[in-house]
Amino acid sequence: MPHTRSWLPGDRDADVCIVGAGYTGLWTAYYLTRADPSLRITVLEARFAGFGASGRNGGWLSGLVPGDRHAMAREHGRDSVLAWQRALNESVDEVTDVAAREGIDAGIVKGGTLQIARNPAQAKRLAAELAEEREWGNEGLQELTTAEAAQRIRFDGVAAAYHTPHCARIQPASLARGLADVVEGLGVQIYEQTPVTEIAAGRATTKRGTVRAPIVLRATEGFTAGLPGLKRRWLPMNSSMIATEPIGPDVWESIGWDGRETVGDMAHGFFYAQRTADDRIAIGGRSVPYRYASRTDVDGKVPERTIRHLSAVLHDVLPQVRDVPIAHGWCGVLAVPRDWSAGIDLDRSTGLGWAGGYVGHGVTATNLAARTLADLVLKEKTPRTDLPWVGHRSKTWEPEPLRWLGVRSLYVAYKLADRHESGGRATTSPIAAVADLITGRP
């Protein structure tokens, strides 16, 4: 369990108030105080640092873009999006370097990502994805034969694969806890068990007191819908995970995975996985993606049917671990904007700023977003402040029940499409194509 910090003891004044002690909030506090140690920075957290998606994600420190590159290029130009992609790839090393410099042990191993396809339709999508990644300036990507993929990890039924170097495996909760300790050691005040009930110009209000500050930054990601006036701003998407008991060396010898790559597949109801620092397998997916009226999970509790579903996925791709017990199951909530693209902004007239909507690609993106927010707060013009997600705003989601019906229909359609494709069809199921078109998912 993380050590607990005190709650807000009453009204306070600060130069910068940050709402949310996840990656975005903590990284922003880190870069601000490193740039200007005289700043009085207060971070308010409803539960404890790293409680949300920052502590419960799949541990992919990747260069994945949290948005639609084609849409951004139409609005801002191709060069701007290429710069965004480069900045995200470089941020993988930035996080790694800061963790090493600050003594944060987050189990970081830069083994890249192995992306696999397990039927002809998935293989066709994988080839298209590989070509697109190269088109957007991602270098070092390697198309693999099935034999070459098996040399890395012996998954069952792989039809095609590629490897990208732009990812590191991490232990996400360790990164969040370690970053919080570092930030606190630099003089930042972190108050836990202090839910913010309202954010307004010049203040963040809680039941325990009000923090007054000329700059108030919202870093609430999947919990944003709980704040007044923001119910439909971002959709809280639930993502679930399980982890096995530690796996013995004999089983690992039958699997491989010595490079500690993160792994994903090309199914519409995709999975993401890693070999953990303590030799478990952690695997996740979107079993119950959305709860009616933007409700969020209760302390990460995951339904038994989700554990069964993810166990079945794991055993299907790695039958070698069928006899290894599942030790843990949990879920977390991430934020999805209506156009599936993250944004950052700071309104100089009100002092209100925010960053988020990372669509599940936030472990690295939060670091780049935080450095960008720090630039905006400090009124510094940098290449980061020219990136296309700065100032980007998405329209709001539809009211209920349309929101719930739309998301539920999307994932039901994806399940049907995966079932359709498992029969061996050579192209993507039209069910998935129609679902993407209706929801606007890139």
In terms of domains, do 293 and 357 share one? Answer: no
In terms of domains, do 200 and 330 share one? Answer: no
Give the domain range for residue 74. 12-101+171-234+339-386
Confidence at residue 283, expressed as pLDDT on a 0 to 100 scale: 98
Query: Within 13 Å, how many C-alpha atoms sit on residue 403's CB side?
Result: 22
For residue 273, the domain's CATH number is 3.30.9.10
- Answer whether 169's CB lies under 8 Å from 109's CB: yes
Does residue 364 sit within a domain? Answer: yes
For residue 80, the domain's CATH number is 3.50.50.60
In terms of domains, do 244 and 95 share one? Answer: no
Distance, in Å, from the CA atom of 439 to the CA atom of 278, rounded to the nearest integer, reads 39
H or E element, residue 102? helix 78-102
Supply φ then ψ for residue 252, to 5 degrees: -60, -35
- Answer whether 222's CB lies under 8 Å from 334's CB: yes
In terms of domains, do 88 and 211 share one? Answer: yes
Does residue 403 sit within a domain? Answer: no
In terms of domains, do 179 and 293 share one? Answer: no
Confidence at residue 411, expressed as pLDDT on a 0 to 100 scale: 87
In terms of domains, do 215 and 247 share one? Answer: no
In terms of domains, do 315 and 261 share one? Answer: yes
Q: What is the pLDDT of residues 255-284, one digit of tens each?
A: 999 999 999 999 999 999 999 999 999 999
In terms of domains, do 304 and 252 share one? Answer: yes
Does residue 442 sit within a domain? Answer: no
This model's pTM is above 0.85: yes
Taken in order 267, 67, 397, 28, is the CA torsion positive or negative?
Answer: positive
**Count of domains for the chain:** 2
In terms of domains, do 143 and 252 share one? Answer: yes
- Answer whether 237's CB lies under 8 Å from 286's CB: yes
Confidence at residue 286, expressed as pLDDT on a 0 to 100 scale: 78
- pLDDT-flagged residues of the chain (< 50): none
Confidence at residue 4, expressed as pLDDT on a 0 to 100 scale: 80
